[in-house]
Each structure stands twice: as structure tokens, then as C-alpha cells.
């Protein structure tokens, strides 16, 4: 299967090339030439475990990867999750379910893809005959960074460098990254927000002269952000797996449509759901849940994407994003896969901070999606109310999803069953969650975690407990225009 750029000037002859390159040479994102139908295999998926389901879903795109090696890699990756299940579905009430995606090594949904991406990248490089050292650059709003560092730690022939906003992640997220072990890793704080980090990394990727300089040093770039299709495709699996689990549990009949509510920042997680629907999964609505940085909510309401707005630092920092990179892939589909129009809109976003879609395209979005947002007060209230009613502890990002799901059910009273994607453990944001439950703030993350554990009876994960005594290895902070110099220093 070929992969084409959303901007029309690059083609990858297969998925291996698309994954190893990460970002298309024209600055666009790689998308599959066609969407394979996986729903016709759904009855077989019902009887499989998660790793087997993943190998089928992912393998439908990665035709040149050996199927047995892919299955083995999935089994190895997902054995790192609690009970070998990266995506258990928890029933809350008759029409509400939570898809828990935080049972991996770094306690965030990014683990589902980033425990597997090292295999996809190394195997892809082998298929493509790439012998150079691979340098992975990552911009993170919190969770991607640690998950990528953990996944690629000491990976042969690969170096990884993570950039995060110095004041835009939680204390736990920062500690997870800055204490990371491994000889091939580096972590740098950037003065600014996530959009600054993402823009800086994309600028490096698109610098042809710098690419040649590194090539002469026997180094090639790749990405572990969701701009890389290898990051995106494993996430499609948990939509199919959740649906299968619902059928197996007798909650729905095969063929029934369900909704998915997704806390959304860079639009990769919800785009995976959109792709699952294109592959035949019976999805009614995809609920796009934003925090106070509600650029996506307004886009779905009026068809104008306007990133020229005030940026808010919120209690759900992984969603503090104004330029949602993966939306470009959806825009490409809305444009009838017209790359020239898509490229023009992305250039308008770069130069003017705004672009517009047509009325008929907005009508398509309205059929496929529901979008709304939760402000800070609503997030705190949702965490408190949900714990009081169900005894279930939400992290701040999942609370955004629950709050918007409630608004969705208020708008469509007969909407049916909805699965809310839970993207992180509450213990990654213990100060905020504790304050929501008690009204009292605690400055230290570990003290807050102890109080949260005593209050809720939910054990603090061992992986976070050990952070308190780990040596902090990385403390470098740079201006956003100094990222290339930081890369040079890292590679020597």
C-alpha cells in the first residue's frame, strides 16, 4: 500500500518508508492511499486477545511487514501492560463506559503506540535498507515524551531527543522525563508552550540543508509524534478492541452503533477513531472534547480554524494546544483528498493563523462529530461529582471527556451508548485531582499523591512512587529558536 502526503509533493512507496520518514518531505502528513476494510474480520477479532487484534488491524496497513514478526512484536509490547490488556472497558452505567488507556509503563494512552513503535521503526528501516543512525525528535505536551523515551531507551541505532514546554507539563510528567535512563536519550525544556515546541521540531524536519548535513554524518530524522503514521495506526486498534469487548460482554449486538468521546489536543487520538470508522467500525458520533483552549470546538461549530487566540495553561496540560497537527489529515479527507487545497489551507494557517472550510464540509463534520469544551471550573466539578456518584477517580483530561459526553447526551437524548477514552492515570496530576475532590491545594506532587491514595483507596502506581528517589538527569532549558543548536550538541 502506498502512502501519500496531504500536501501532494511526496509519496511513500509503502508503510515502512512512511514510518521511517515520519513527516513527508513537503511538510505534509502521510496518509494511506486507501482504507482497508477490517469490519469484515470482526467475528474473528471477537475471539482474539488484544495483541492478536492489534496485529490484524495494524497489519491491514503494513502489508510489507512479516505478519508473524508483527504479532510477536505486539505480544511483547502489550505484555508490558497490566494483565496484558492495554485497553480494558469499564462499565459505569447503562449507557456510559470508560476505556482505560493508562495501564502501560508510563501510565498514559501514548504507551499503546509507543511500546510498539520501536519495532515498527526498526523493522521499517530494515525493509527500506536504511543503515544510518536514526535521530527521533519529539515535541511533547507531557505524555508523549515519557512514553517515547521509555519505548526507545537504549534502542540500537536510534537516538531520541524530547522537547517539552518548561511550564506546560505537570510535576509528575516533568519528573518522568527528566529522570529517564538510557544512553541514547536527551530531554530539553523550551521556554514557551507546546505549539512552540511543535513548530520548532517541524522547522528542523523541513530544513533541507540541515538534513543534508546530518546525512553526511550518517544520521537521518524520524518522529515519534502522531504526525508519524506509525504512532497513529496502533491507536486504531483500541477502537476495534473496545467494540469487540462490548459485544462479548453482551452490552451491544454485533452491528450496533456506539459513540466514542475523546479528550482532544493534537487530534491524533480522535483521528484514529475516524480512521476506524472508515475501516467499517459501526461508530455513530465521535465526540471531540476540548479544554479551555477550545480552538477545535469553534472550528467544528463555524468552519473557521483560528489559532490567533489567547493560550491558556490548564489543569489538563496535554491538551493545551492551539495548532492541532493531525487535523490536517481530516481536512485532506474533507477536501476530497485534494492536496493542493489542503496545502493552501496549511500555508494560510502558517502565515495568517487561520483558514476556512466550506459550508458543505461543515455539514459533513456535523454528521460525523460532536464538539464542545469544558472550562477549568467544569473540570474540577466533574471530577468531584463523578467520584461522589460512582466512586471512580478521573484525571483532569478524562474529566474533560466526561463533561463533554454529558453535554453530548443532553443534546442527543437518544444518543445511545458512549465510551469515553480515559487517557491518563489520576496520579500523573495528583495536585489538581486532590484539589477537585477536597477543595484544598497541595503543592508537592508526592504529598498530594499520598493524600489522594488515602482518600480514594486507589493505590499509587509503583512507577510513580519510585520517581521521588530517582536522580534528575536533564535540566537544560532553551529559547524556542535554539532547538537546532540543542540537537547539534546532542549528536556531537
Q: List the one residue out of 490, 427, 491, 414 whose CA is nearest residue 459.
A: 427
Q: Which regions of 94-212 does DSSP assign to beta strands (E)?
A: 96-100, 133-139, 158-165, 185-191
Residues 6+ apart with CB under 8 A from 444: none
CA distances from 481 to 80, 203, 253, 279, 484 (A): 37, 10, 54, 41, 8
Q: What torsion, rounded to 10 degrees, do the Cα atoms 117, 122, 128, 129 define? A: 170
Q: Which regions of 256-392 does DSSP assign to beta strands (E)?
A: 258-263, 283-290, 304-306, 354-356, 369-373
Please tell me the number of Cα atoms within 13 Å of 207 on its side-chain side. Answer: 16
CA 319 to chain centre: 10
> What is the rounded distance in angstroms from the CA atom of residue 464 to the CA atom of residue 426?
11
Residue 165's DSSP bridge partners are 190
- Pairing of β 304-306 and β 354-356: antiparallel
Interhelix angle for 117-128 vs 67-78, to 10°?
150
Active site annotation includes 110: yes
- Pairing of β 158-165 and β 133-139: parallel
> What is the rounded distance in angstroms from the CA atom of residue 164 to the CA atom of residue 151?
17
DSSP 249: T
Dihedral sign (CA 34, 38, 39, 40): positive
Q: Which of 41, 110, 146, 174 is catalytic?
A: 110
If one counts every other C-beta atom within 10 angstroms of the C-beta of residue 67, the result is 12
Given the C-alpha cell 490536517, which residue does it identify?
328
If one counts every other C-beta atom within 10 angstroms of the C-beta of residue 468, the result is 12
Cβ burial, residue 389 (10 Å; 0-12/13-18/19+): exposed
Residues 6+ apart with CB under 8 A from 463: 105, 106, 107
Percentages (nearest 5) of helix, strand, coil residues in the chain: 50, 15, 35
Using DSSP, state whether 266 is helix, strand or coil. Answer: coil
Active site residues: 110
Amino acid at each position: 500500500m502506498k502512502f501519500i502526503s496531504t500536501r501532494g509533493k511526496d509519496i511513500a512507496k509503502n508503510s515502512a518508508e512512511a514510518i521511517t520518514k515520519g513527516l513527508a518531505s513537503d511538510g505534509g502528513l502521510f496518509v494511506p492511499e486507501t482504507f482497508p476494510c477490517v469490519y469484515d474480520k470482526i467475528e474473528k477479532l471477537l475471539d482474539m486477545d488484544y495483541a492478536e487484534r492489534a496485529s490484524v488491524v495494524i497489519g491491514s496497513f503494513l502489508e510489507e511487514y512479516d505478519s508473524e514478526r508483527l504479532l510477536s512484536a505486539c505480544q511483547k509490547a502489550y505484555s508490558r501492560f497490566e494483565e496484558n490488556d492495554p485497553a480494558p472497558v469499564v462499565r459505569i452505567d447503562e449507557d456510559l463506559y470508560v476505556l482505560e488507556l493508562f495501564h502501560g509503563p508510563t501510565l498514559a494512552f501514548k504507551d499503546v503506540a509507543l511500546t510498539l513503535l520501536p519495532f515498527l521503526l526498526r523493522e521499517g528501516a530494515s525493509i527500506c535498507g536504511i543503515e544510518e543512525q536514526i535521530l527521533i525528535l519529539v515535541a511533547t505536551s507531557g505524555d508523549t515524551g515519557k512514553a517515547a523515551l521509555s519505548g526507545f531507551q537504549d534502542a540500537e541505532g536510534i537516538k531520541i531527543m524530547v522537547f517539552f514546554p518548561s511550564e506546560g507539563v505537570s510535576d509528575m510528567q516533568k519528573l518522568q522525563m527528566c529522570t529517564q535512563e538510557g544512553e541514547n536519550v536527551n530531554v530539553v525544556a523550551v521556554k514557551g508552550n507546546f505549539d512552540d515546541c511543535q513548530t520548532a521540531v517541524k522547522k528542523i524536519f523541513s530544513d533541507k540543508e540541515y538534513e543534508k548535513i546530518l546525512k553526511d554524518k550518517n544520521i537521518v530524522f524520524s518522529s515519534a509524534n502522531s504526525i508519524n503514521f506509525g504512532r497513529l495506526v496502533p491507536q486504531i486498534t483500541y477502537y476495534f478492541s473496545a467494540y469487540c469487548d462490548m459485544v462479548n460482554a453482551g452490552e451491544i449486538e454485533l452491528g450496533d452503533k456506539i459513540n466514542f468521546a475523546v479528550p482532544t489536543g493534537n487530534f491524533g487520538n480522535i483521528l484514529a477513531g475516524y480512521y476506524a470508522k472508515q475501516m467499517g467500525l459501526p461508530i455513530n458520533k465521535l465526540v471531540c472534547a476540548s479544554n479551555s483552549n477550545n480552538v477545535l470546538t469553534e472550528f467544528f461549530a463555524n468552519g473557521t480554524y483560528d489559532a490567533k487566540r489567547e493560550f491558556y495553561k490548564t489543569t489538563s496540560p496535554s491538551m493545551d494546544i492551539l495548532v492541532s497537527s493531525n487535523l490536517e489529515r481530516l481536512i485532506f479527507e474533507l477536501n476530497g483528498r485534494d492536496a493542493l487545497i489542503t496545502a493552501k489551507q496549511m500555508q494560510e494557517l502558517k502565515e495568517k493563523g487561520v483558514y476556512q472550510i466550506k459550508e458543505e464540509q461543515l455539514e459533513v463534520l456535523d454528521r460525523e462529530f460532536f464538539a464542545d469544551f469544558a472550562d477549568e471550573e467544569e473540570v474540577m466539578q466533574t471530577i468531584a461529582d463523578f467520584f461522589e456518584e460512582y466512586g471512580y477517580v478521573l484525571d483532569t483530561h478524562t474529566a474533560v471527556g466526561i463533561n463533554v459526553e454529558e453535554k453530548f447526551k443532553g443534546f442527543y437524548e437518544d444518543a445511545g451508548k458512549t465510551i469515553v477514552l480515559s487517557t491518563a492515570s489520576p496520579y500523573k496530576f495528583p495536585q489538581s485531582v486532590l484539589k477537585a475532590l477536597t477543595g484544598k491545594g497541595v503543592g508537592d506532587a508526592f504529598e498530594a499523591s499520598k493524600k489522594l491514595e488515602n482518600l480514594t483507596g486507589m493505590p499509587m502506581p509503583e512507577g510513580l512512587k519510585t520517581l521521588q528517589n530517582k536522580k534528575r538527569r536533564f535540566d537544560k532549558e532553551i529559547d524556542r529558536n535554539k532547538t537546532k543548536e540543542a540537537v547539534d550538541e546532542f549528536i556531537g
